Amino acid sequence: MIRTSRRLADGREILYFDAGDTVPERTAEDRRDLPPVSTRSQLRWDPLLGEWVVLASHRQTRTFLPPADLCPLCPTRPGREPTEIPEADYQVVVFENRFPSLATGVDRDVPPTAPGAPLSELRPGFGRCEVVVFTSEHDRSFATLGLDRVRLVVDVWAERTAELSGIDGVEQVFVFENSGEEIGVTLSHPHGQIYAYPFVAPRVEKVLASVQRYRRETGGDLFADVLAAERAGPRVVAANEHWTAFVPAAARWPYELQLFPHRQVPDLPALTAEERDALACVYLDVLGRFARRFDTSMPYIASWNQAPVHRGREDWWLHLQLFSLRRAPGKLKYLAGSESGMGAFISDTTPEDVAEQLRALA
């Protein structure tokens, strides 16, 4: 993998990643007249839930579902407006988000607490948000990228995780893809994102607490025991030498998979070359099953659960959550009163039935 670093017109970093020994020279310049990125994010502590909330009101003006000929993630080519990517073609590109929720250049001068709320600590919205563009082809999807390109994306995810983890103040790196307008995607070009949080995300905090409690009470490894049981059970959908994808026994979403490596590793950079090869294969497999389940494309979120940067790494087991809110043709699972109000999920499907459906789509 060859990495080339350049700068956009407003100073943001853009990185080109190319597979192979001979790649095009990346010299195109961004000639747009762009104002500097202005980020007014802040973190506010919810003392009742014990969680951080990010406020990013400047994102209200971000680009929203532009027509294909104005897509900011397409290459910059003659006859069309310049885009976020100055080159006329590319393989995989990563750049700093123009409308970030978190940024390293955020204003650090903030009051200690929110107005009128002395128990709600306030912090700058420090961090970094990156966009990962998987292909220059606007009408593709991740499931149709091909094995070589997916393998390159895996390496890019690992490289970015390692680099962002090295930023002072970053506590967790979150790699994810939102796919489909029903999920809330605002740009249809195939892409994902990476957030470098200045805190450990609530889900990871909760899982880590469960893992550590299980170890104290039983002396066992909760991740290992769950994986061993699922590999021997009725909900496995796909597997190879290094990875197993299964529908979790207590799935919350109508269609949900978890993808685990067979070896305990804390994050994507820790995977070997063979494990990355195997990941590309099984990931394309399960995405293809999601794509073929209904006549219309399955909206989904692919969420990599990586270890915190500074604590709990020896207890963590890297895994992917892949889930969709589509429950039937033309029907979505809405997070209504119980889910949104109380955080108590009620599922419209059974994990065993979903696993059987997805297995049948080989």
- List active site positions: 191
Contact 265, 224 (CB under 8 A): no
* Radius of gyration (C-alpha) of the chain in whole angstroms: 21
C-alpha 330: how far from chain center: 26
The amino acid at 318: L
Which candidate, 184, 198, 217, places its Cα nearest to that of 64? 184
For the chain, what is the HEC assignment? CEEEEEECCCCCEEEEEECCCCCCCCCCCCCCCCCCCCCCCEEEEECCCCEEEEECHHHHHCCCCCCHHHCCCCECCCCCCCCCECCCCCCEEEEECCCCCCCCCCCCCCCCEECCEEEEEEEECCCEEEEEECCCCCCCCHHHCCHHHHHHHHHHHHHHHHHHHCCCCCCEEEEEEEECHHHCCCCCCCEEEEEEECCCCHHHHHHHHHHHHHHHHHCCCHHHHHHHHHHCCCCEEEECCCEEEECCCCCCCCEEEEEEECCCCCCHHHCCHHHHHHHHHHHHHHHHHHHHCCCCCCCEEEEEECCCCCCCCCCCCCEEEEEECEEECCEECCCCHHHHHHCCCCCCCCHHHHHHHHHCCC
Distance CA 356, CA 361 (A): 9
> Residue 50, exposed/middle/buried by CB under 10 A (0-12, 13-18, 19+)?
exposed
What tokens were used for 36? Answer: 């500097």
